[in-house]
Structure 1
């Protein structure tokens, strides 16, 4: 491979690292053509970009980034494919679902919500992790709940009693 081609691939990988907020490193070697095609189709359906990369080129792209990916360098051995996603738990759910039918893909590492997760044992945790948007939604729902309770209380029978008490206090003055 020519040096220009390598630098173009590194540049392309660097731009994908900036474009997508989450990525997973997985081993999909030894999948037959049917299973590999099915995995790629599932990735496409779930808006996950799957590419197979050379470890040296990926490492150079990671090193060029402003973020610290040094925890991921030790797993860059053997066959590596990268699953880029804007949803933190999407690739983990896909891997778990796909593993019900096949032995691969095997999770090597992941970069999710500004943190590195290394090893296959992190797959269950990553599948259940909530995205930043989901956490914000949960927080808003929690903050709205007490206000909704007060409003419904004021609109119900208790509201009539409070209104009656306030009216009685005004009449006394």
Structure 2
């Protein structure tokens, strides 16, 4: 059943809003997936809090054309053939979902066409692996906090070490241990 003009306008509005508000966008080729595999993939994206939608290329193109952000226009050339779009707040989540799906189903699809992450483009055979290996924002914050706390912990350890060594030596002498 063909889409009505009003429904197309609504889809374009929704896509425009998603493209404008997302700094992390993945375009994938999903051709060759069965209905069951597609439903499984959508469920995995939902669990990972990633919005995944299949869209008509012409409607996505019209949505991108409405946006003032010229950086995102580079995605236009990748809207050919079957295309699904994943919108996320975490650059690694969509890549991890795709990678896990590919491994679990021993499949070659979905295939990453391109990933747009805060103005940078990632494509090619190694891009999915590189993106999946990225740390999440929370992991990076944890690493930074750990690095900031490490010097204080080292100083505390260094200050406590001579006192514990001295206390151990005194205890050994008190016990009559000749090796101390």
Q: Flag whether TM exceeds 0.5 (same fold).
A: yes
CA distance in structure 2 between the partners assigned to 1:51 and 1:73 by the alignment: 16
Aligned residue among 77, 81, 85 for 2:80? 77
1:33 aligns with 2:38: no
State the secondary structure of the residue aligned to 2:109.
coil
Corresponding residue of 1:144? 149
Aligned counterpart in structure 1 of residue 135 of structure 2, from 107, 126, 130? 130
Q: Gapped runs of 5+ residues in structure 1?
A: 162-173
Supply the distance in 1 between the matched residues of 2:154 and 2:36 (Cα, whole angstroms): 54
Whether 1:58 and 2:76 are equivalent positions in the alignment is no
Residue 106 of structure 2 is aligned to residue 104 of structure 1? no
How many residue pairs align between the two structures?
161
How far, CA to CA, are the matches of 2:143 and 2:63 in structure 1? Answer: 35
List per-residue Cα deviations over 1:73-114 (Å, max 9, x = no partner): 221110100112221101111111111212210100112244
Once the two structures are superposed, residues 106-148 of structure 1 have per-residue CA deviations (whole angstroms, 9 ceiling, x without a partner) of 1001122442213343111111122344333322221221121
Partner of 1:93: 96
- RMSD in angstroms over aligned alpha carbons? 2.3
TM-score by length of 1: 0.80
- Measured in 2, the distance between the counterparts of 1:114 and 1:22 equals 9
Structure 1 runs (4+) greater than 6 angstroms displaced:
none
Which moves more between the two structures, 23-32 or 60-69? 60-69
Structure-2-length-normalised TM-score: 0.77
Structure 2: unaligned runs, 5 residues or longer: 167-180
User: Residue 125 and residue 93 in structure 1: after superposition, are their counterparts in 2 closer, same or farther (change >3 A)?
Assistant: same
Specify which of 98, 122, 138 is matched with residue 117 of structure 1.
122
